[in-house]
DNA sequence: CGCGGCTTTGATGTTCATCAAGTAAAGTGG
DNA sequence: CCACTTTACTTGATGAACATCAAAGCCGCG
């Protein structure tokens, strides 16, 4: 190694095999020259709807929400997701501008790579292209399936779904701090804030969950699953 | 040209630049060896949910619906689409099995290419990979956006949306024959069959549309757009 | 300590699904 | 080609699900 070169931390990055599989060490080092890491505090916006896309971004740590503003001006949350699931916006290869916004629900680290460089890699390394395509495709599929699932449930089923989603997919724990407000849950599953709260209260009365402000404990996960499926 | 070889109709195919851009003539001829054309009558199933994916398929002519069966057994229509918009299922690069079914709403021609061959091309031709990725990405985006749009509308807004979709995207005409039953419209926009019919009747009474069985004439497209947006 | 935002709950009305009953249309077999 | 069956469509009546409105409690923050 030439010690005049800046050391490339990408080579040792735990995540390089997940997002940038099929790249040899040379390409990884090159990647370093075209990337930077950015830190976002809880609440900060990472991508803004309508903004020009010039980078490929992926989440290294934290939690984000993907959302858009509906024609009538309300916020519509498309999905809430952890690292790796969120590989940039989906539109990077098909659109010039972001279709959706992304913001941090927890402090988050984002790896930002110049999009032109990714495209260059794409052209000269088919295996890399296929690996990335497969990841983006998986994420897209997941979003579509989730949206369809939610749509076809009733009110209690949707709330049960969200609680299970946080428990199983986001926190891997039956006790967790809600990373979103009640209103955001409502925006996520498409119902009114009042009814989200009402439904949570009912779950509490039936001792399916315990609620202490933002902290939630899932007591009876089986019942929750039954409600979610039936809903 | 060697006239012992079977002539390759792909070379002259009008659609090769749309789906298979960035392929040289050699690759296109090779493609011919790995593809066949299939014809589906109205109502026939092209892909079946759960079936193993071994081909890359795209629609040359006709009209199809993409749908799935919900856990509770009902049909949920994800989108209805014309050629080029429908490039196989979206899951070909991320899943082993079809996540959704596809069936023909009109007589349809489908071009079927062995998936392994597509993957091979992918690996050795980055430009082709990028072109295809971009197409798949566009289609995915469209589906997600459509699903979100529908979800956020009320009953009349949804029916207005469907009528506009058929008018502007599918038939490019204000007079058209509905390619689906009333029940299928209901499965598409997530409401009951009875209310789809009721809403169509209201539009008829208000002289926004004329209805003759399956034939629909959009009389006041502006009013329809207002209803769709407000909804 | 007081203001503003988030949360909670009840009361009310709207929107929508469901049920039922009837009509039209489209297959189906003799 | 007609009687028969089945499937799609239509409309009204009813009740359930849900949004909206309003009022009050809570909590953090200046």
CATH of domain A14-148: 2.60.120.10
Which bases on strand C have an atom closer than 7 Å to a protein beta carbon? Answer: 6-11, 15-20, 25-26
Domain A153-230 belongs in CATH node 1.10.10.10 = yes
Residues of each domain in chain B carrying CATH 2.60.120.10: 14-148
**Per-residue pLDDT, B8:** 67
**pLDDT by residue (tens digit) across A10-24?**
887 777 777 787 888
Share of chain B above pLDDT 90, in %: 63
Do B148 and A78 count as a contact with CB atoms less than 8 A apart? yes
Q: What is the DSSP string of B144-164?
A: HHHHHHHHTS-HHHHHHHHHH
A100-139: pLDDT as tens digits: 999 999 999 999 999 999 989 888 888 888 888 888 888 8
**Hey, is the C-beta of B61 within 8 angstroms of any chain A C-beta?**
no
How crowded is residue B45: how many other Cβ atoms within 10 Å of its Cβ? 12
Provide CB contacts within 8 A for A79, sequence distance 6+. A65, A66, A142, A143, A146
On whether any CB of chain B is under 8 Å from the CB of A143, the answer is yes
Average pLDDT over residues A40-44: 92
Per-residue model confidence as pLDDT tens digits over A140-149? 889 999 999 9
Q: Among partner residues A90, A135, A148, which is closest to B76 by beta-carbon distance?
A: A148
Secondary structure E strands in chain A: 35-40, 45-47, 55-69, 75-81, 101-114, 175-177, 209-212, 215-218
Predicted confidence at residue A17, as pLDDT, reads 75
Six-digit token string for A163: 């609680």
Beta partners for residue A56, in sequence order: A113
Out of B68, B129, B135, name the one closest to residue A129 (CB). Answer: B129
Q: What is the nearest CA distance from A125 to chain B, expressed in angstroms?
A: 6
Instruction: Judge: A152–B76 Cβ closer than 8 Å, yes or no.
Output: yes
Q: Where in chain B is the domain with CATH 1.10.10.10?
A: 153-230
The number of beta carbons lying within 10 Å of the beta carbon of residue A193 is 14
- Residues paired with B215 in a beta bridge: B177, B212
Please give the average per-residue pLDDT across B156-179, as a whole number.
96
* Distance (Å, whole) CA A200 – CA A159: 8
| Apex A163 CA angle, A139 and B98, nearest 5 | 35
Q: Give the Cα separation of B132 and A15 in Å (integer).
A: 26
pTM metric for this prediction: 0.92
- Give the pLDDT of residue B3: 41
Inter-chain touch B141–A90, beta carbons under 8 Å: yes
A211 or B12: which leads in pLDDT = A211
Whether the per-residue pLDDT at A209 is higher than 50: the answer is yes
Structure-model confidence comparison of residues B16 and B228, the more confident one: B228
Flag whether pLDDT at A94 surpasses 70: yes
**Mean local confidence (pLDDT), A69-77:** 87
B90: confidence class by pLDDT, cuts 50, 70, 90: low
pLDDT band, residue A164 (cuts 50/70/90): very high
């Amino acid at each position: 190694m030439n010690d005049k070169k800046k050391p490339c931390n990408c080579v040792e990055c735990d995540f390089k095999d997940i997002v940038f599989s099929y790249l040899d060490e040379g390409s990884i080092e090159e990647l370093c020259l075209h990337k930077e890491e950015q830190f976002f505090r809880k609440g900060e916006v990472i991508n803004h709807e309508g903004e020009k896309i010039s980078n490929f971004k992926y989440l290294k740590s934290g939690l984000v929400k993907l959302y858009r503003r509906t024609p009538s001006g309300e916020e519509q949350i498309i999905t809430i997701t952890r690292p790796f699931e969120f590989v940039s916006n989906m539109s990077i290869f098909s659109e010039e501008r972001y279709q959706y916004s992304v913001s941090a629900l927890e402090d988050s680290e984002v790896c930002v790579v110049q999009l032109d460089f990714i495209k260059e890699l794409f052209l000269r390394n088919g295996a890399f292209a296929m690996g990335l395509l497969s990841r983006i495709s998986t994420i897209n599929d997941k979003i579509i399936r989730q949206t369809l699932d939610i749509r076809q449930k009733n009110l209690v089923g949707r709330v049960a779904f969200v609680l299970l989603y946080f428990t199983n997919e986001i926190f891997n724990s039956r006790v967790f701090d809600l990373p979103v407000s009640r209103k955001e849950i409502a925006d996520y599953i498409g119902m009114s804030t009042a009814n989200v709260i009402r439904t949570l209260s009912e779950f509490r009365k039936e001792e399916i969950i315990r609620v202490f402000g933002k902290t939630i404990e899932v007591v009876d996960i089986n019942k929750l699953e039954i409600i979610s499926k039936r809903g």
